[in-house]
Structure 1
């Protein structure tokens, strides 16, 4: 019995004088991962109790009934679990304290310059990927959740922990993120949160248009202001005769419409649009608010178009109203109305005459001509804002369609024009030569009558240069051109 007591006493003394327990943990850990802390103690009388401590708080307790069996503590890494840890080992009534370690959260943060990342086209963008304080980190960049590679569009060329775009465009707008990987510690990775980069386009010159409609209660006018380029938000304002009468903020579309009072044939002033952003302030042209009703004499002009082979390829009819701000057009062939929803002109080799409306119905194109085709065409015009307004009709025009070549009369007319141009060109050359000869004669007379020593003429004699010219006929435009030949 005494021998057993002496052995126990010596064992306690050995435990008290042995090395303290050791708590180990490697580096930092990503958010949400499992951190494993290992507490190892020297040989101690059983049972051995291990307690993991964070400051003064007990995190977990483990009891071992076997010798030389360390305690492992598993912690889910969160922001609250970050801090200093140590373990307490209790055996045989004695408690020893291990070393302290710091559990760091492996953070990766993406920052931008400018901040927030909202910038205009042509500006410089700098993104920085800030990872944990460890050596041997590698960086992976993401654009719109795809890994940035040399084939990424638009081209992005990150250099380590930085990504720089010297002159951004709207294509560079999107979501960016980065990921750090600690290759020296089991390739542990940590990703940043996404950063949305907004690239704004500069405003173009604002434009203005006016429209008018007739409702049951009278007329309703509208002024539309818009820009073809530019990024919202922007502030649109309407000015009438220099005074601001309405304003509206555009958050999605760069087109804003303002209602205005308008009456046909009455001068309602002059409108102008203004658009402003944080760096731009632009004005549109001035638009008079004066609507002229359709009226006056209406006529149809016919233009025949020929191909390179001197054969008629198409005919184009233009409707010319006497007046009217918002005209609506309608066409008739041989007294019957042509459909409003005409298809675009078909290929020129179509067998029968086909129709196509251009310029809002103002012009009618006839293609796919057949020999002997054609007919009597009229156009009608009325106010587009009033369906009950009367039609103003043009006189009938007979359009002759044929796929044949130019007629003898047309050929004679063109030949006469060419001859006339040649005569004018030859006459011009003759006049130039006559003027040059007269000038040389004057110089000779002046030098003969001079009483002093003989001096060379101040102006060298002119050498006649003959110029040639060719005449070119543009069948499509029906024009004659005088082309000089060197």
Structure 2
């Protein structure tokens, strides 16, 4: 009995293996939703079509790049299995189902096609962050705006600048080389959606300020008298720059160095320093910055010297295209650090009359563009201190309409130079032509025979005739050279006659040689 039982078991196992080896599983099919929200309960179904009856099939649901399975279920008689899942954010990705015969490794497992499952987490908590954090950038520099979302998946972004949508669809917007037009309000709209009706969005905005770096400041000094004290006003100003601007005044003298800081919403600042006449009080310099690198002004000396000495008046013509179009009068004083100049015509102050243009903040130059009978007369200037009432007058200079009527020396020089150049050019051409004519070659080209009887004259004696012809040409050339040595030059006009004579002579000799001898 024991041997029979063992034999039966062995036969049964062999029959089972035979059946298993002949079994082939088809590919399972995974049914799952395409999209879902975080927190929803979703059903994943897996089935092997035409599965063999009475065979236990093990189904396993897995996600790509995840070692842990979402569940294992066994089904019989070709039934499908159900995998219920509570959707999490991490479930976004590719899923597949694997089927195998339970408790049998002899039948290869099969895998379904990959199914992409999109998980939507509604967008929340959007913040627009700037780099640099101040959201301020200088012209030509770079700035980055980042739309940071606290929660959300599959987010699309929409940027706008001053209410106008831009073409940027990423989470960052770059201003590589900012211009003044880039300043303004920027907003970022982050959104995602489950379907056409369930749309989630949130936005944030920030203001970007584009600044112009402050230019190099100009420093100037003015002097005024307050009772018996003289005060120098130091003015520091920049032409360009975005306020506010921080100004720093540095006063350096024998006693030490002093710094004065000022913050202004304008492009200028001032400082008052008490001084004594004719004494060096040191130097002053200012510095300006509005967040970019600081820029320094020139240094000026704090010294006040009253005007004194002689005052001179000079004139200078204003030219345009070699023509005099105006007259400049320049007034200079021998000494004085802060002079002021006033102009007079026939002892009457010109002030701000329309016919006269006073140039410079100190009025040192007077420009006359037109001179009429009204503006003719004696001009003089007067130099005074900007802080005093005493003045020094210059000598008087008479000016009338004739000052603008003469041709400038430059125009006369140009015209004269052009005339002399043309004279030299014509003279040179004439001399070169005479020399070239005297150096013409004396050898003339070989004469040609134009007679229709040329072919009949050719014979075996052609070579001697040609030799005799060349001898005749050499004789003529020798005669010409002899005449030249004696101081007589043959005229070029005589050569045609000589050539014709040579042709006739050669033709006669050829005819004589061609005649048959008489017997």
TM range (shorter): 0.5 to 0.7
1:129 corresponds, among 147, 153, 158, to: 147
After superposition, where does 1:136-151 map in structure 2 within 5 Å? 137-143=155-161, 145-149=162-166
**Structure 2 residue 263 is matched with structure 1 residue 250:** yes
What is the rounded CA distance, in whole Å, between the counterparts of 1:119 and 1:416 in structure 2? Answer: 56
Report the Cα offset of residue 397 of structure 1. 0.2
Report the Cα offset of residue 338 of structure 1. 1.1
Report the Cα offset of residue 417 of structure 1. 11
1:172 corresponds, among 165, 170, 182, to: 182
- Alpha carbons of structure 1 residues 373 and 255: separation in structure 2 relative to 1, 3 Å: closer
Aligned-residue RMSD, C-alpha: 4.0
What is the rounded CA distance, in whole Å, between the counterparts of 1:230 and 1:411 in structure 2? Answer: 46
What is the rounded CA distance, in whole Å, between the counterparts of 2:199 and 2:253 in structure 1? Answer: 68
After superposition, where does 1:407-446 map in structure 2 within 5 Å? 414=412
Report the Cα offset of residue 412 of structure 1. 12
8 Å contact from structure 1 (residues 208, 273) kept in 2: yes
Corresponding residue of 1:285: 298
Q: Deviations over 1:395-446 (max 9, x none)?
A: 1100122487427xx7799569967x989xx9xxxxxxxxxxxxxxxxxxxx
Q: Deviations over 1:449-480 (max 9, x none)?
A: xxxxxxxxxxxxxxxxxxxxxxxxxxxxxxxx
**Structure 2 residue 381 is matched with structure 1 residue 363:** no
- Alpha carbons of structure 1 residues 138 and 187: separation in structure 2 relative to 1, 3 Å: farther
Corresponding residue of 2:337: 325
Larger deviation: 163-172 or 355-364? 163-172
Report the Cα offset of residue 279 of structure 1. 6.4
Larger deviation: 291-300 or 274-283? 274-283
Corresponding residue of 1:158: 168
**Structure 2 residue 397 is matched with structure 1 residue 392:** no
Q: Name the SS of the counterpart of 1:296 in structure 2.
A: strand
TM-score (norm. length: structure 2): 0.49
Gaps of at least 5 residues in structure 1 are: 1-25, 29-101, 150-156, 344-353, 427-486
Corresponding residue of 2:236: 225
8 Å contact from structure 1 (residues 248, 256) kept in 2: no
Report the Cα offset of residue 253 of structure 1. 2.8
Kindly name which structure, 1 or 2, has the bigger radius of gyration based on alpha carbons: 2
8 Å contact from structure 1 (residues 108, 190) kept in 2: no
Q: Deviations over 1:215-273 (max 9, x none)?
A: 23522222233444455453514232384323214252343222211233222122233
Gaps of at least 5 residues in structure 2 are: 1-35, 39-119, 425-519
8 Å contact from structure 2 (residues 122, 153) kept in 1: no
Corresponding residue of 2:208: 197
8 Å contact from structure 2 (residues 329, 366) kept in 1: yes
Report the Cα offset of residue 333 of structure 1. 0.9
TM-score (norm. length: structure 1): 0.52
Q: Deviations over 1:153-211 (max 9, x none)?
A: xxxx6343321112234543332212235464448574534312234444544443222
- Alpha carbons of structure 1 residues 368 and 190: separation in structure 2 relative to 1, 3 Å: farther
8 Å contact from structure 2 (residues 313, 330) kept in 1: yes
8 Å contact from structure 2 (residues 123, 149) kept in 1: no
- Alpha carbons of structure 1 residues 404 and 173: separation in structure 2 relative to 1, 3 Å: closer
What is the rounded CA distance, in whole Å, between the counterparts of 2:164 and 2:410 in structure 1? Answer: 73
8 Å contact from structure 2 (residues 144, 174) kept in 1: yes
What is the rounded CA distance, in whole Å, between the counterparts of 1:210 and 1:278 in structure 2? Answer: 27
What is the rounded CA distance, in whole Å, between the counterparts of 1:240 and 1:247 in structure 2? Answer: 12
**The structure with more helix, counted as a fraction of residues:** 2
What is the rounded CA distance, in whole Å, between the counterparts of 2:272 and 2:331 in structure 1? Answer: 31
What is the rounded CA distance, in whole Å, between the counterparts of 1:196 and 1:285 in structure 2? Answer: 37
Aligned length: 302
What is the rounded CA distance, in whole Å, between the counterparts of 1:327 and 1:390 in structure 2? Answer: 11
8 Å contact from structure 1 (residues 118, 197) kept in 2: yes
Corresponding residue of 1:109: 127
Q: Deviations over 1:27-76 (max 9, x none)?
A: 79xxxxxxxxxxxxxxxxxxxxxxxxxxxxxxxxxxxxxxxxxxxxxxxx
Report the Cα offset of residue 141 of structure 1. 2.2
What is the rounded CA distance, in whole Å, between the counterparts of 2:300 and 2:322 in structure 1? Answer: 46
Report the Cα offset of residue 377 of structure 1. 0.7
